[in-house]
Structures are given as C-alpha cells and as structure tokens.
Structure 1
C-alpha cells in the first residue's frame, strides 16, 4: 500500500538539515579522542614489553683534581658488574659501549658530538631471569656500600607513574566519549520531535489510511540514517589527515616515548567503528523517539 520511499514530506523540514553538521562534529571529536587513546595505550604496551624484566645501573665517573680518573672508574665498573652477576635472579649484566651510548643520545644531540666531552655516567644494562624476584632494596644497599658512585634505576617506578597517567587520560577520554554519545542522542531526539510536530497533520492522515507506528518510525529512522551517514563520513574523513600528520611527526622522532605511539591494524579497525556506531546510535534513537512520541501524540 505504501510503496513510495517516504510518505512524509521531509524536504519541507529544514530543522533536520543541521543534524549532519552535528553528527560530523561529534564523530570528529570522538575520532580524535579514540585515536589518541589507542595511541597512548599502544605506546604504553610497547614500552612495557621492551623494559619488562630489566634494570639499569649507572656509574658516575670518579674525578680527582677536576679530571676523570679512568682507571678507578673502570675498576668501579668491574666491581658493580661482579656484584650484579652474583645476585640471584639476574640473567646478565653488560656495560653499554660508546657506540650504544651515542645511539641513545643521538635523537637529542644529533650526529656531531663527542661522547668524551660530555660528563656522562656509564650505564649497565641488567636483564632479569623470567619470573625472578630480585631483592632490589638489598641490591641497592649493597651497591651503595661497595660502589658509592653507582645507583640503581628501577624502571617499574617511573613506568608505574606513566601507567597511572595513561589510565587517567583513558578515564577522561571515556568521559568525553560519554558526553559525545549523550549530546548526539539529545540532538537526534530534538530534531525528531521537531519534525514530528511539523508533520503532525501528515502523520495523522497516514494513521487514518492504515499506517501503523512502526511504518512511520521506519521512515524517520531511514531519513536519520541517511543524514547521520553524511555527517559521519565527513567527520571521519576530517580525522584522517590529523592522524597522518601526527603519525608522520612521531615516526621522525628517533627514540623516546613518542616514537612508540603507533597505529596498527587493530587500532584502525576500532577507529572505523566510530562513524558506524554514530549512525547506528542516531538511527535507533530516532526510531525509539518516534515510537514513544506517537504513543502520546495519537
């Protein structure tokens, strides 16, 4: 009986045309928030894997009369290595070579610098046995007693602070996404109710000719899905160049946290769900709003 695409003259309803703009903005902000959250968690995951089960010991060069005593410094390095290799739970302890130190400093100091001109401590990379429980306090005390120029850097301490920061940002991102969802729903409800008020005579006529609430709700849902899809696609396309720009900047950084913030296939898949979910949310909200309003209206 009702074979036309729409029996309701939506073209006369100008209030619905700002819906794509609002959905576009919501998808844009939600996309940026999601991309930032995924990048932060990717960075944290990569760093956790790279430094898990490891420690770092630094040995300050010994100075005498304003000059570094290389012989005593080297002897202290040997003493530290001996202590570390005798400690239960430690798999290996190796002093970083000059070339390795230069590679660590290169992202910040560039290529043209002499390591000998810098008052840099000597670093020792310590790898722990799998599932080993090392008494770090005892090791720190032992190093302080026998090698006063050595200090133990436990990665878990600052990594724990980093994890806390990322978790806080995750919470803020979730709160922002919740606000986006609520705002989108309110906008769809407002637009749908306004349209129902404008087209009330037509809807009453459709009811008199045999149209049921589900039929009218379906037409509104289809119309909302079309408008929301346009806005969602434009909003999503606006996010892509920003992600590309930030990814390009991050890829140029050699070393540091920023270089680990990457977007993998799973992250892209989750990001692509943002516009889809925005359209689904808008469509279902419009359908539910029409159903509920018609029960009160007619």
Structure 2
C-alpha cells in the first residue's frame, strides 16, 4: 500500500513530454472540427426550420378571370373572399409592378414586355390554426372564382429532406472525428508503453497491477485531451463569434443564423475529449499488458 502511494506521488509519466506536443495539436484540431460541425448543424437546422415556418404560413393563389372580368378585378375579388376564411391572417392581390419585379431577375426586361403576367394573390395564414388548402379552394369555388392554389408543399418537402440530410451528415462527421481521436490516443498510448517498457516491467515485478499502470496512462491522456478539447472548442467558438459580429457576408448569415446560445454546445468538449481519451488509453493499456 505504501509503495502504491509512493508511486502515485511520483508519477510513472513525466508532467511534460515534448514528444506529445504534436498530439496536443492533432486532438485540438479534431475537436475544433467537431465543434465547428456541431455549430454549423445547429445553425443550418435553425435556418431550415425558419424557412419551413415561412413556407407553411404562406399560400399563393393564381386567379384566372372569367367572362369580361379583368385579371386585376378577379384577383382583388379572390383576395376579399380568402381574407374571410377562418385561419387566414391576410390576403392581398399582388400588383402587376410587383409581379414584374419578382419575375425580372429570372427573365429580364425584354421578355417581360411580351409576357402575360399571372394574376396572383398572396395569402398569409394564421400560424396557430392555419387554413387548409381545401378550405381555400372551397371558398373560391362557392364564389365561382377559377383559381389554382399553391401551398408550396414541394418546396417544404425539399427543405425538410435537406435538413434531415444535414443532421445525418453532422452526426457522421462527429462519429468520424471521435473515432479518429480515439485512434490517435490509442497510437500514442502504445508508443508510451513501448517507450517505458522497462519501467512497466519493474513496476510489475514490484507488485503493481495492470489496473494501476493503466490508470496512470488513463489519467495522463484524459488530462491532455481535456486541455486539447478546450482549446478546440474555444477556437470554434471564436470563429462563430467573428462570423456573427462582423456580418461580412449577409448571405452567409442568412444560411447560417448563429445564436449566442449555440456556444453552450461547446461546453462538453473538454469532458467529451477526456472521456474518449481515458477510455481508449485504458483499453489499449490493459490489452497490451495482458499480452506481455
């Protein structure tokens, strides 16, 4: 028991080892990438959720005039009918000039001159209890208004599918980085054991158990990985802060709407790094000592 305490006071492994500087760097980079992928996944999911909410809250209605009725009159009449449907927050006919402005980036001025513009009605739905497309269609049919309703369900499905793919990719990246970190720690543990094979042999002859020796390597690499994980998490957080504060690219901020609360996801980085390193070091050490 006294020998065990003496061994614990004078650690088997030195406090500092210049050979492990590169290992610190590699683990820090791995957890920087893992933390950054987590932040991007959160922001992408938030963006997809926001787009889905906006699409669910909007419906576009194309009105076709009948008889001698003009397109603008038919659209105004359809907007008035739709505004009275329960679950509709607002309905308004889109002015021809605004319709031209929406189409212009795609077709240009030359084509617009000869192009018949559609008569559109923009409908905003109540987010709490949105009206169904069938209810809108029935209301228009009762007033004998010929119209086609587009609830953007195709776009919504594409966005939700993309969000799911982003989540799966982020999970895959995290698992890949975690396995890479475990492999790096495992290699370093093997190298450390081989470099100190004579010390390990003497300790075994003195009665030190495999569990005790494994505990030394486990604590050493867990502490090292915790520091590296902290540095990687801080670096990822700084990148997010710079992007959010500078706002250098509005398109980037639109695609990745970071939130300050996202920084909370970085808190477990040191603990997670330590757990991966400790578990890997313990398994590798016990396995190697068992074979010797």
For residue 125 of structure 1, give the secondary structure of its aligned residue in structure 2. strand
Shift of 1:57: 3.2
TM-aligned CA distance change 1:282 to 1:218, over 3 Å: same
Task: Point out where structure 2 has 5 or more consecutive residues left out of the alignment.
Answer: 106-116
For residue 94 of structure 1, give the secondary structure of its aligned residue in structure 2. strand
* Number of aligned residues: 266
Mapped partners of 2:80, 2:50: distance in 1: 31
Alignment of 1:20-31 (within 5 A): 20-31=24-35
Corresponding position of 1:52: 56
Mapped partners of 1:197, 1:287: distance in 2: 15
Shift of 1:203: 0.9
Mapped partners of 2:217, 2:231: distance in 1: 22
Shift of 1:216: 1.3
Q: Does 1:275 align with 2:270?
A: yes
Instruction: After superposing the two structures, state which structure 1 stretch, 181-190 or 277-286, moved more.
Output: 277-286
1:147-191 CA-partner distances (Å, limit 9, x unpaired): 5xx653313321211111121122122111111011111111111
* CA-atom RMSD in angstroms: 3.8
Return the match for 2:176 from 176, 179, 186.
179
Mapped partners of 1:142, 1:96: distance in 2: 18
Mapped partners of 2:34, 2:154: distance in 1: 32
Q: Does 1:261 align with 2:257?
A: yes
For residue 135 of structure 1, give the secondary structure of its aligned residue in structure 2. helix
Task: Point out where structure 1 has 5 or more consecutive residues left out of the alignment.
Answer: 63-70, 109-118
Corresponding position of 2:129: 130
Question: What is the TM-score when the length of structure 1 is the normalising length?
Answer: 0.73
Question: What is the TM-score when the length of structure 2 is the normalising length?
Answer: 0.74
Shift of 1:123: 4.6
Mapped partners of 2:76, 2:119: distance in 1: 14
Mapped partners of 2:93, 2:243: distance in 1: 32
Shift of 1:37: 0.3
For residue 207 of structure 2, give the secondary structure of its aligned residue in structure 1. coil
Higher relative CO (CA 8 A, sep ≥ 6), structure 1 or 2? 1
Corresponding position of 1:113: none
For residue 268 of structure 2, give the secondary structure of its aligned residue in structure 1. helix
Corresponding position of 1:286: 281
Mapped partners of 2:10, 2:121: distance in 1: 73
Shift of 1:247: 2.2
Contact 2:230/2:270, CA 8 A, preserved across alignment:
yes
